[in-house]
Amino acid sequence: MSEVTQTSVFEAAIQSFLAPVLTYLKDETVTEVLINGPKDIFIERGGKLTKTDAQFADEDTLQAAVHNIAQSVGRRINDERPTLDARLPDGSRIHAVFPPCARNGTTVSVRKFSKTRMTFPDYIKRGTITAAAAQFLDICMFLGKNVVVSGGTGSGKTTLLGLLANRVPPGQRVIVIEDASELIIDYEHVVRFETRMADEQGKGEVSMRDLLKSSLRLRPDRIIVGEVRGAEAVELINAMNTGHKGCLGTVHANSPADAMVRLETLAMSGDSQVSERAVRSQIASAVDIIVQISRFPDGSRRIASIAEVTGLNSQGAYEVEELFRIGSLKREPDGRLTGQIQPTGVLPTFIDEIENNRIPFGRDKFQSPTAA
């Protein structure tokens, strides 16, 4: 069976399995469908959650749907492995948890795949970032700075990662490693890898760490890791420290400082015999920029901070200097929050590099509005 035919069959099967929520899956204004058992279904639209009238017939019908989806993508969900993480034909991400771990009944999240490629002008128009901050991130990609995107679940980390990846200068070889391919990257030379679960005998697993090790032997110019959430952090840090400029990755954290601690914890979770101090030193020298993206109470997603990692202080703690930071937000009568990320007045340590490359981004761009 050809790949096109397989995809068509799968898409038809998905429509059958998820028929009760198919309307929302096709609705472009809906960003996520949340199934909390067969009779309790919510959707996210414009960052706000709304309960729907949609229902599955019963728990068995919902479980059968998830089983069929898992089989269609070559993955499994059962009593021994009660979770599923997979990608639908349109690129949407589905995650499911079976009872008894899911106390409400089978719980499913379908995060819709955006078919439009995000750009910095789009980000600026939405109020996610200012023009100056966007230009600075563009400069970081041009100069090959190692960037970590930090944020909570659903904050927009993957979208921002794809946007940054699309700003890689031409003529480079980019290797992308993900658990389930979802990054939208419009670039000439991209090599994509996806992890694989073990089979029923516990064999055949290909982890993020395995793929990172392989990628280092495949002449990458830049390595992009969809989400760093395990011991693969060690390989990514090593890649950043061994001449692979402009690496990108995301982590779950609530601030730039927390992101550094999170990376350290993940790096130490493996079988590394390196001391905590040595790991901390490696991370501090590997990561250049941390971009914090957050979801705010009005449902909007905004860049909350852009910080530079400048090393370790005398006590061995990470030194993280915010270059841009979001200020106080004002709530409008309609509930929307207004406010933008602003420079803090701190110059990046690589300001000379910006100037030596004749990039038109003067020091005044980093001047704090309060000091102006």
pLDDT digits (tens, 9 = 90+) for 1-55: 444 455 565 677 677 888 999 999 889 889 899 999 999 999 998 778 999 999 9
Judgement on whether residues 215 and 274 belong to the same structural domain of the protein: yes
Q: Which pLDDT score is estimated for 70?
A: 87
CATH of the domain at 80: 3.30.450.90
Judgement on whether residues 162 and 77 belong to the same structural domain of the protein: no
Give the best-scoring range by mean pLDDT among 21-25, 136-140, 174-178. Answer: 136-140
Does the residue 152 lie in any domain?
yes
Taking 80 as the threshold, does the pLDDT of residue 59 lie above it?
yes
| Pairwise CA distance, residues 159 & 278, whole Å | 32
Average pLDDT estimate for 285-293: 96
CATH of the domain at 136: 3.40.50.300
Judgement on whether residues 141 and 169 belong to the same structural domain of the protein: yes
Does the residue 372 lie in any domain?
no
From 33-47, 71-85, 135-149, the region with the lowest mean pLDDT: 71-85
Taking 90 as the threshold, does the pLDDT of residue 124 lie above it?
yes
Look at the chain and report how many structural domains it folds into. 2
Distances (CA, A) of 10 to 21, 67, 133: 17, 13, 42
Share of the chain above pLDDT 90, in %: 55
Q: Which pLDDT score is estimated for 62?
A: 95
User: Which structural domain, as residue segments, surrounds residue 183?
Assistant: 120-366
Last residue of a domain, one of 83, 111, 139: 111
Judgement on whether residues 135 and 284 belong to the same structural domain of the protein: yes
Confidence of residue 272 (pLDDT cuts 50, 70, 90): low
- CB contact at 8 A, 34 and 109: yes
| Pairwise CA distance, residues 190 & 284, whole Å | 28
Residue 129, classed as helix, strand or coil, is coil
Mean pLDDT of the chain: 89
Average pLDDT estimate for 319-331: 92
Average pLDDT estimate for 186-214: 86
Judgement on whether residues 172 and 262 belong to the same structural domain of the protein: yes
Taking 70 as the threshold, does the pLDDT of residue 115 lie above it?
no
Does the residue 299 lie in any domain?
yes
Does the residue 132 lie in any domain?
yes
Confidence of residue 256 (pLDDT cuts 50, 70, 90): very high
Taking 90 as the threshold, does the pLDDT of residue 292 lie above it?
yes
pLDDT tens digit sequence for 354-367: 999 999 999 999 99
Does the residue 169 lie in any domain?
yes
Give 176 or 9, the one with higher predicted confidence: 176
Average pLDDT estimate for 273-295: 91
Judgement on whether residues 106 and 128 belong to the same structural domain of the protein: no
Does the residue 371 lie in any domain?
no
Confidence of residue 298 (pLDDT cuts 50, 70, 90): confident
Last residue of a domain, one of 111, 139, 164: 111
Give 108 or 180, the one with higher predicted confidence: 108
Judgement on whether residues 209 and 356 belong to the same structural domain of the protein: yes
Judgement on whether residues 282 and 303 belong to the same structural domain of the protein: yes
Q: Which pLDDT score is estimated for 372?
A: 54
Average pLDDT estimate for 143-168: 92
- CB contact at 8 A, 55 and 39: yes
- CB contact at 8 A, 139 and 150: no
Does the residue 190 lie in any domain?
yes
Last residue of a domain, one of 60, 76, 111: 111
Judgement on whether residues 42 and 144 belong to the same structural domain of the protein: no
Does the residue 203 lie in any domain?
yes
Q: In 3D, which of 70, 102, 105, 106 has the Cα closest to residue 88?
A: 70
Using the structure block, give the residue that is written with the tokens 């991400």.
Answer: 93
Confidence of residue 138 (pLDDT cuts 50, 70, 90): very high
> Full-prediction pTM beyond 0.85?
no
Q: Counting beta carbons within 10 angstroms of the beta carbon of residue 103, is it exposed (0 to 12), middle (13 to 18) or buried (19 or more)?
A: exposed
Q: Which pLDDT score is estimated for 289?
A: 97
Average pLDDT estimate for 243-251: 90
Q: Which residues lie below 8 Å from residue 292, measured CB to CB, with a gap of 6+?
A: 150, 151, 253, 255, 256, 259, 303, 304, 305, 306, 307
Judgement on whether residues 145 and 250 belong to the same structural domain of the protein: yes
Average pLDDT estimate for 258-271: 88
Give 312's strand partners.
318
Q: Which pLDDT score is estimated for 358?
A: 95
Judgement on whether residues 159 and 298 belong to the same structural domain of the protein: yes
Q: Which pLDDT score is estimated for 85?
A: 84
Q: Which pLDDT score is estimated for 182?
A: 78
Average pLDDT estimate for 167-181: 90
Judgement on whether residues 147 and 267 belong to the same structural domain of the protein: yes
